[in-house]
Structure 1
Amino acid sequence: MATKESEVASNEHPNYQNPDGANGHELGRQISVTLTPQQFEELYLQPSIRSRSQAGLVKTFGNPTSLGIVSFLLTLTPTSCCLMGWRGATSNSLLALIGAYYFMGGLCMLLSAILEFVIGNTFPFLVFASFGAFWLTLAGYIDPKFASQTTLLTGQGGSPAIYYVPFGYYLIFWAVYTYFLTLAAFRTNVVLVWILLFVALTFTTLGAAYLKFGEESMAAGANLVVAAGACGFTACMGGFYILLHLCLAATDFPFNIPLFDLAHLWGAKQ
């Protein structure tokens, strides 16, 4: 695959030898699969392929992007529903999702990040690795065996500020980082920009909620938690849209839904 178009070819196979010694039809032939930069971006969420060596890796390995999207969605969506308080769930209900944070959000996202790294896709690697680490961090924060809430909130010398404010700062700086990712995603497509933007808004409102909890403004903090859940759920709607696109592309479906490419607006880097 070159920068402007991708080309993957198979090895040529030998001709079949008939029992009478005559050559038969060729069992295999040179096969080229050409992907435009837009097609490559829609499969891997990266503007273009960098080299022929990367093309060989893309041919050898499957597409790990779908796994990363699935892992993210199946942790953020139930989390958002809990934050919004649907069917009696609350932010305290997140403890029930701790297994999902460790394995689906953490382990599976890190696995997809490693595979993105192997095939040379830097931007998806950065997104999946960092968010995988976030879910593991969240799992450690709420895991009862670490007793952080007991120690910092109700233990000797503990207070709401000591417990909530540090994690509020953590979420605010995660929001800053995700806004950076959103800006970079303008080289990809509209749907990915939508997802990252609303994830950044989720971190912003949730970080503000934790800072309010640190001030013991529980009512204001609770409203911000609901707003964070709504932003997260909105991001997930874009995530399920892009997941459907990737599933259809993986099975060579005769049609697909558009992601609204943005890379052509910027032109190639000189």
Structure 2
Amino acid sequence: MRDVLIALLPAGLASLVFFGWRAVWLIGVCVGAAVLTEYLAAQFFKKKNYLNDCSAVVTGVLLAFVLPPSLPLWMAALGAVFAILLVKELFGGLGHNIFNPALGGRAFLLASFPVWLTTWTRPFDAVTTATPLALAKSGQLLDAVSRATVQASAAGQAVNYWDLFLGNVAGSLGETSALALLLGAAYLLYRQVIDWRIPLGYLGTVALFMFFAHENVAFHLLAGGLLLGAFFMATDYTTSPMTRRGKWIFAIGCGILTSVIRLWGGYPEGVCYSILIMNMFVPLLDRLDEAKSK
């Protein structure tokens, strides 16, 4: 968990640069609410060593990273309480939860406050705008397979690949900077905290799917929360398979669902729901591999 927090530092610093002190407040509220909820739940269920693993802190940071920077702080706190209490503790605590707590908290907030969860601000000036994926979904982004710039027809905006790579685009707090996320991912891979099969299978599936669908592969890999989800959400030990074959199936399933939702769903981003849906199949994947090994 401490390695994960270290790996999330670059994305946290990028969010501070692009969205200002609002990023600090949002992360602080999510972490504070998550830790407090875990403490109170531990007291109620009479559990010991409830904060030593830092899992509540990781959940709080990840939840903040998948929320719009302009989200009211009380909503962020409510999402953290839901993530810890309902998604994690009521299933038995760390190691027993079926769904990723941070993504569960985000899904709850999206269902409860859809307008706030789909209101985005532009970096630096906090002007309301659409995300690159939302512009693409609405047909306001022109095809840019062979060009260095993705031109947006709305309000004279221009989203180029350099901005997508650095993070100078609208989006959730910690998902915009591909550079920061890749730095954190490299640290996790170097420390062997995560298995390379899940992010490779996830990103590779999305890339192949978009290629055969004649979509802009680079755009879909860089835009939205795909990198954050592939390296920091889908690789969660508790909610991902334990076997190699299970990891590949899980990752490919996440990639297919993400691509289908992005291309044909009513929602421009599919990472959150794709991982949560595949979380449900993890016990089955583990049991099937366990049965075949006997």
TM-score (norm 2): 0.28
TM-score (norm 1): 0.30
Compare the two structures and name the one with the higher helix fraction. 1
